[in-house]
Amino acid sequence: MKLLSRLSAAGTAVALLVALTACGADEDPLSNSDGGSSAAPGTITVGSANFAESELLAEIYSQALEAKGLTVKRQFNIGARELYLKALQDGSIDLLPEYNGALLSALSSGGAPEGVSKPEDVLGALKKVLPSGTEVLEQSPAEDKDTLTVTSETASKYSLKTIEDLKPVAKDLVIGAGPEWQERYQGLKGLKELYGIEFKEFKPLDAGGPLTVNALIKGQIQVGNIFSTDSSIATNKFVVLDDPKNLYLAENIIPLIRTSANNPTVTEALNAVSAKLTTENLTTTLAKVQVDKQDTAAVAKGWLTESGLV
């Protein structure tokens, strides 16, 4: 969900790993020696971030693994990237859905490498910075990017079509997003560094969720960070601002897993999910959860059945 998460200043990746690991310099930050998981041996613990799409994807992964006879423990709704990477590091979880560009930016000193934006380039760069003891499997064609989104009225009032158009008016506008967005490169930091944009105020709300959407509708914020697959964009006729300087990279959904938890059966099950997952069917499926308020597990089962995976 492209949601998801990006740190920028030089040395940030080092700071992130220090914050997440609390390990000595000679320790493997993803060692299994004292994992925090309470799951039984042979059980794969699947985690998710704290937004609907991540939980839906995690449930799809979980049921796909169970269909192959594997035992799964669910530990969803952990929080933002900074929290769930710590859970992956300490062994509390083994697997979760990620977004290639967001993860690359989070793990790269100074943000993602310059000029890297296409899915295959992002994946290649990501593999070079993954923490020891983790790996990614095949990335899906499905993509969910962070966006800067405004109402049609705001777009018309300020003649907004691109993020760049915000520069002369941002000083009069309030932006809303998840609290962590204030410190991320694909947040306020990158907007300032890449576009020269500073807003009147930042409102910490949620990661592309109902708080941000409702605040945008009610005029409590004028710009919101909403994920590109969110059905509220079409439902409310919101305007997604183009990103000409590629602040937001390719954001293909990809399984991130502890190497110790992977095996050929796991790889086969998750790669099959990635092969079937598209932006279009993800958007449609997510709407069943967000708009129709259907049970996430039932929606996941329906998608797997329609895709011929269970």
- Give per-residue pLDDT as tens, 92-123: 999 999 999 989 988 988 777 777 878 999 99
CATH 3.40.190.120 positions along the chain are: 146-240
Q: What is the mean pLDDT of the chain?
A: 87
What value does the mean pLDDT take over residues 224-233? 91
pLDDT in tens, 43-62: 999 999 999 999 999 999 99
pLDDT in tens, 127-140: 999 999 999 999 99
Q: Which of 21-25, 29-33, 65-69, 189-193 has the highest mean pLDDT?
A: 65-69
| Predicted local distance difference test score (pLDDT) of residue 73 | 98
Residue 37 predicted with pLDDT over 90: no
pLDDT in tens, 249-259: 899 999 999 99
CB 141 within 8 A of CB 252: yes
Give 39's pLDDT tier (boundaries 50, 70, 90): low
What value does the mean pLDDT take over residues 220-229? 95
Rounded-to-integer distance, Cα 114 and Cα 72, Å: 39
CATH 3.40.190.10 positions along the chain are: 12-143+249-306
Higher pLDDT, 238 or 16: 238
Provide the whole-model pTM: 0.74
| Predicted local distance difference test score (pLDDT) of residue 41 | 65
Residue 89 predicted with pLDDT over 60: yes
Residue 77 predicted with pLDDT over 70: yes
Higher pLDDT, 229 or 304: 304
| Predicted local distance difference test score (pLDDT) of residue 273 | 98
What architecture does CATH give domain 146-240? 3-Layer(aba) Sandwich (3.40)
| Predicted local distance difference test score (pLDDT) of residue 114 | 72
| Predicted local distance difference test score (pLDDT) of residue 271 | 98
pLDDT in tens, 183-223: 888 899 999 999 999 999 999 999 888 999 999 999 999 99
Range with the poorest average pLDDT among 17-31, 173-187, 279-293: 17-31
Residue 22 predicted with pLDDT over 90: no
Give 306's pLDDT tier (boundaries 50, 70, 90): very high
pLDDT in tens, 146-167: 899 999 999 999 999 999 999 9
User: In the CATH hierarchy, which top-level class contains the domain 12-143+249-306?
Assistant: alpha beta
Backbone torsion region of residue 229, taken as left when φ is above 0, otherwise alpha when ψ lies between -120 and 50, otherwise beta: alpha
The CA R_g of the chain, rounded to the nearest whole Å, is 19
